[in-house]
Structure 1
Amino acid sequence: MFLQTIEEEDATGKVAGIYEKQRAQVGFVMEAAKCFTARPDLLPIYTEFSDRLRAGFSLGLREWRLITLIAAKHIPSTYCSHVYGKQLIEDLGSKEAVLAVQRDFRTAGLSDKDVAMLAYAEKVARDAPHITGIDIERLRRVGFSDQQICDIALCASFRCFVSRFFDAMGAGTEAVFIDEDVEFRSAMSVGRPL
């Protein structure tokens, strides 16, 4: 971490509570959470926003992870690519399937609906000013509601913000998310080197 943040043993109040909750959920406190403690008043706000965004997400966890992987590739965010790439292995059934999506989701054997969702997420991450009504109509044609389209945009945009913030703060990818497979590790390292 480039800036001073609150370590677990020094956490008090709301920060300590958030750290404890994360330890209970994932077994440790992620660098992503620690980043926000350079401004400790923001960690509770970030956590509440993130929790509400995910709790109200109208698509599934698999879709959240797919959108995040594609957005992370284009930010580019090594941290988020590793975290979500690792989580997608179970969702998609294999590392090879995750690699195929990360390389080119259009040819990875996904459904037309998944491809449309990821094409929109990619455009949000890479070129949001050029999104038009035509992009929205494509999503509606494959069955997405306006709320779901909003959620795709929120998920991809949220990833752009937090991934850039994590890199700016110097957050490092935790060892648990770094795969031993060299090809997979290399493919997920899209930005800052490990």
Structure 2
Amino acid sequence: MSIVDTVPPELATGLLADIYGSDAHALGYVPSHSLVMGLRPEAYAAWRALQQAIAGSLGQRRYELVTLAAAQALGSRACLLAHVNKSLGFMGEEQLVRLMRNYRDAGLSASEVAMMDFAAKLSRNAAAMDDADSVSLRRAGFSDTEIVDVTLAAAARNYFSKALQALAVEVDVPPGLSPAMLLAVNETLAAQEPATGTPTDVE
């Protein structure tokens, strides 16, 4: 749990109150990451605007798939749970469970697998990437603008996930996720343990 003191929703004013309000409307609660990042509401609002700009160009489905691949590679429990929950809006639970266990064998298109591979490599070792990685996306049918979009989506997830990890922000489990979905999330995180440390199980 993060040591930083946060502003409770009932005491929030101005932009912070707006941020909390949008969360409460969309989720039914104010998540821990908003409480912590809300200490700098202007920066947090800019982050949200960046997300929207990237997703608006890339498309919500592609944005979420790239985000899931990056969150998996980073071992980010908070981001993985949040975006698994969002992905249920366009993907059935059975397919999403398969995706958590092995996105290359989850019934995705070849182009979707290619962009998830790209996002995972960026998240694990961006310094090792070169033109061949971008060429792999071009061969999968992505335009140059879309290649930049995929890169921005994955890099943006690295920024936010690492900030949450560094501040030890409490992980919220979205209500309504099934035991099978939570188990799949646990399994994919456990597979990352050698590189990312040992996460505790999701309850």
Deviation at 1:149, TM superposition (A): 0.9
Equivalent-residue separation in structure 2 for 1:88 and 1:149 (angstroms) = 21
Correspondence for 1:187: 184
Output the TM-score relative to the length of structure 1: 0.86
Mapped partners of 1:112, 1:43: distance in 2? 34
Q: Where do residues 104-143 of structure 1 align in structure 2 (5 Å cutoff)?
A: 104-143=102-141
**C-alpha distance in 1 between matches for 2:168 and 2:82:** 16
| Match among 155, 160, 163 for residue 162 of structure 1 | 160
State whether residues 83 and 177 of structure 1, in contact with CA within 8 Å, keep that contact through their aligned partners in structure 2.
no
Matched residue SS, 2:87 = helix
CA contact (8 A) 1:75 1:125 kept: yes
Following the alignment from structure 1 to structure 2, what is the Cα–Cα distance between the partners of residues 79 and 14?
23
8 Å CA contact 2:81–2:174 kept in 1: the answer is: no
Relative to structure 1, is the Cα distance of residues 33 and 120 closer, same or farther in structure 2, using a 3 angstrom cutoff? same
Query: Structure 2, unaligned stretches of length 5 or more?
Result: 190-197
Task: For residue 114 of structure 1, report the CA deviation from its aligned partner.
Answer: 0.9
1:65 aligns with 2:64: yes
Q: Which residue of 2 aligns with 1:86?
A: 85
Answer whether contact 1:75 1:160 (CA < 8 A) is retained: yes
Per-residue deviation, residues 71-130 of structure 1 (Å, max 9, x unmatched): 11111111111111233234222x231122122222222111111111111111111111
1:150 is matched with: 148
Distance 1:22 1:137 in 2: 38
Counterpart in the other structure of 2:97:
99
Percent identity, aligned pairs only?
28
Kept after mapping to 1: 8 A contact 2:54/2:63: no
Worse-superposed segment, 3-12 or 97-106: 97-106
| Letter matched to residue 108 of structure 2 | L
Alignment check: 8 A CA contact 1:82 1:178 kept: no
Distance 2:119 2:42 in 1: 30
Contact 2:110 2:140 in 1 (8 A): yes
List runs of 5+ in structure 1 lacking aligned partners: none
